[in-house]
Homo-oligomer: A and B are copies of this chain.
Amino acid sequence: MIEVGIVGGTGYTGVELLRLLARHPQARLRVITSRGNAGTPVDEMFPSLRGEVDIRFTEPDLDALAACDLVFFATPNGTAMKMVPDLLARDTRVVDLGADFRLQDLATWADWYGMEHACPELVAEAAYGLPELNREGIREARLVANPGCYPTAVGLGWLPLLEAGGIETDRLVASCVSGASGAGRAAKVGTLLCEVNESFKAYGADGHRHLPEIRQSLEQVCGGGVGLTFVPHLVPMTRGMHASLYATVKGDPGDLQLLFERRYADEPFVDVLPAGAHPETRTVRGTNLCRLAVRRAPESDQVIVLSVIDNLTKGAAGQAVQNMNLMFGLEETAGLDAPAVLP
């Protein structure tokens, strides 16, 4: 059994991680910290975990965390980078669900996140935790930067086309939506039910932190610069992320359906739908799956990719568990095999 710690488990990413670990066959939650809720039983804050998790939140304590084999950071950006060096020094491996280690370019990171990096030397070492792109790197990593939700949905959608050189890369458009859980569990007027419910809007159209992260992945794959327009939208639901990806075909990319099916044939968490289908976010709710559809736009040289994930699972906690499985040589799907609850 792998002994696991969580730093900052009171948000939506945290409770999803708790749910997945509660039933993981080879991991055991040993400690969970929360500065503001130390002493509170986990299942008092999250009654859905009554009978599943019987420990309390504690104050952050390096010794307790360092006694774990792996620590997940489900913390605001800027928190993990202050504690990670000490943990690594004590041979505890880390998966950071925040953004501290996602961007290789430190200046870009500082620009978007508004602070200086506390341990720049570890950024280069960190493995970007998108297994479909970087499985071997993750297996051997001490430190994994778990990707953002939009970068996961968008990256998996364009991966086959970029690898095949099948699309122009100067004017990619990613029009994406997220359920409100992506905005977290903090008390904010903007995510009250009465503000989100029965409405739809874009946000961050002038720049969103996931833009440089998406671009970094795409450029890594295609080996050159990428022009990307990315607009996220807020959809009145709790979970789910949908990326609608638009690009111009380059040359003759052949059978797009086949290209996608072959690329993802061995991927346990990527499901290419039959031609003509439209993926629904509810079919991946609470699962670590990404479901994809690809098609040519009618009467056009455009290719459309539709990609859905659960922003809290494949977009956060599920992918973190997948990364843990890889890092510790477990079955990659361990603890991640429950189908979606539908309807």
Contact = CB atoms under 8 A, between A and B. Distances in A.
Interface in A291-340: 291, 293, 295, 297-298, 300-302, 304, 306, 308, 337-340
Nearest to A215: B299
Contact of A298 (B207, B240, B273): B207
Contacts of A280: 47, 199-201
Interface in A195-249: 195-203, 205-207, 211, 227-229, 231, 233, 235-240, 242, 244, 246, 248
A162 interface: no
Number of copies: 4
Interface stretch (A88-96, A186-194, A251-259): A186-194
Interface stretch (A55-63, A117-125, A137-145, A171-179): A171-179
A305 to B, nearest CB: 10
A50 interface: yes
A271 interface: yes
Contacts of A114: none
Interface residues of A, number: 87
Contact of A242 (B202, B291, B340): B202
B285 A341 contact: yes
A302 to B, nearest CB: 5
B188 A191 contact: no
Given A177-B233, A199-B280, A201-B242, 4 more contacts: A19-B342, A187-B192, A191-B193, A193-B238
A196 B192 CA distance: 9
Interface string A265-302: 00000010100111111111110000101010110111
